[in-house]
């Protein structure tokens, strides 16, 4: 474990609203009553079961075991809810816990548009967007598709949340569908397939990658945006615990994401630690898996030591000020 802060003491790191606290208690009740079913899969990259536990709870104070694979360095939640349990979680619990509301309001919609503009700028720097066919997996309200459509792209989105899709249809007048990737047929292909803050939620990312190959047009591109393990300074105040949440199955660095994509015959056009990344499918043999365990665990322990030191210095500073007064 990275430090005692990560023990399962049920204390949230974040300040929760009343609705979030009630939702947390409901989820905890589901766990205690075994309403949710858990499974313990091997590593999603190398299939190795040997892991080192990093944390026993998530940022909300919910029991959530996060571990790092000793054979390749991938960080993932294990045990995790199985697919049927996750389906229930996303339908009934996820939005109230993470957003504090089951339906999107105007403030939420505007915040998603602002975030989407940054992603669209990245895509426009690397791809010609005008006239290309785009499919977004897990599009939510469709804010990213809206900003891409303004750049001339032909956009389409799928999601399992009818509430958010209806909001997107009403607000943006977009072509959105309540379905999943595996119900789509290759009769329609896309120049760009997007996973924006979705790929880390997948129980079987390899299956998604193989399906994407069937749906990508010739010379098509895959875009994946996920929270980067080595990019915790600004979005998570340099605190890895702030990143942890029970809805996230995997936590990638650029290296471990490359490991996974390479094993599924995708090569990187661009990938940074943020992580925003572009990939092309190929038919060559998969390369050997590189082990990033040592450098990843060293990075996380360094960040945790820095966090603990800042806390000590902050306490000392406050005590000093009280004595001076």
- Within 8 A by CB and 6+ apart from 289, the residues are 45, 46, 71, 72, 259, 263
Greatest C-alpha distance within the chain: 74
231-283 tens-digit pLDDT: 998 889 999 999 999 999 999 999 999 999 999 999 999 999 999 999 999 99
Is residue 317 very low, low, confident or very high in pLDDT (cuts 50, 70, 90)? Answer: low
153-202 tens-digit pLDDT: 999 999 988 888 999 999 999 999 999 999 998 889 999 999 999 999 99
| More reliable by pLDDT, 283 or 95 | 283
At which residue do the structure tokens 């990143």 appear? Answer: 243
Average pLDDT over every residue of 72-89: 96
Note the pLDDT of residue 312. 79
**Predicted structure pTM score:** 0.93
10-40 tens-digit pLDDT: 999 999 999 999 999 999 999 999 999 999 9
d(CA 170, CA 208): 29
Is residue 325 very low, low, confident or very high in pLDDT (cuts 50, 70, 90)? Answer: low
d(CA 75, CA 88): 24
Burial of residue 219 (number of CB atoms within 10 Å: 0-12, 13-18, 19+): exposed
Where do the domains of the chain lie, and which CATH numbers do they carry?
4-101 (no CATH), 106-281 (3.40.50.150)
In sequence order, what DSSP letters do the residues of 125-170 get, joined into one string?
Answer: HHS--TT-EEEEET-TT-HHHHHHHTTT-EEEEEES-HHHHHHHHH
Residue 258 CA to its chain's centroid (Å): 16
Note the pLDDT of residue 161. 84
Note the pLDDT of residue 233. 87
């Amino acid at each position: 474990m990275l430090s005692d802060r990560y023990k399962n003491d049920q204390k949230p790191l974040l300040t929760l609203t009343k609705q979030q606290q009630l939702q947390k208690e409901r989820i905890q009740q589901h766990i205690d009553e075994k309403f949710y079913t858990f499974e313990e899969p091997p590593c999603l990259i190398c299939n190795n079961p040997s892991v080192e536990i990093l944390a026993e709870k998530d940022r909300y104070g919910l029991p959530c075991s996060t571990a790092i694979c000793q054979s390749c360095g991938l960080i993932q939640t294990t045990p995790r809810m199985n697919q049927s349990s996750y389906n229930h979680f996303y339908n009934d619990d996820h939005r109230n816990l993470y957003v504090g509301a089951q339906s999107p309001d105007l403030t939420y919609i505007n915040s998603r548009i602002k975030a989407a503009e940054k992603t669209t700028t990245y895509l426009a720097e690397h791809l010609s967007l005008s006239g290309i066919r785009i499919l977004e997996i897990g599009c939510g309200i469709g804010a990213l598709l809206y900003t891409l459509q303004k750049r001339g792209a032909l956009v389409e989105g799928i999601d399992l949340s009818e509430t958010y899709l209806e909001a997107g249809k009403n607000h943006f007048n977009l072509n959105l569908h309540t379905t999943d990737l595996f119900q789509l047929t290759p009769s329609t292909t896309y120049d760009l397939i997007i996973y924006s803050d979705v790929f880390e939620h997948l129980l079987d990312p390899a299956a998604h990658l193989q399906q994407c190959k069937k749906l990508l047009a010739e010379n098509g591109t895959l875009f994946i945006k996920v929270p980067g393990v080595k990019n915790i300074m600004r979005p998570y105040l340099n605190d890895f615990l702030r990143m942890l949440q029970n809805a996230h199955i995997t936590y990638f660095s650029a290296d471990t994401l490359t490991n996974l994509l390479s094993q599924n015959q995708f090569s990187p056009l661009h990938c940074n630690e943020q992580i925003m990344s572009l990939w092309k499918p190929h038919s060559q043999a998969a390369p050997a898996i590189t082990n990033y365990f040592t450098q990843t665990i060293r990075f996380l322990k360094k960040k945790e030591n820095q966090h603990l030191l800042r806390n000590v210095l902050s306490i000392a500073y406050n005590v000093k000020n009280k004595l001076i007064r």
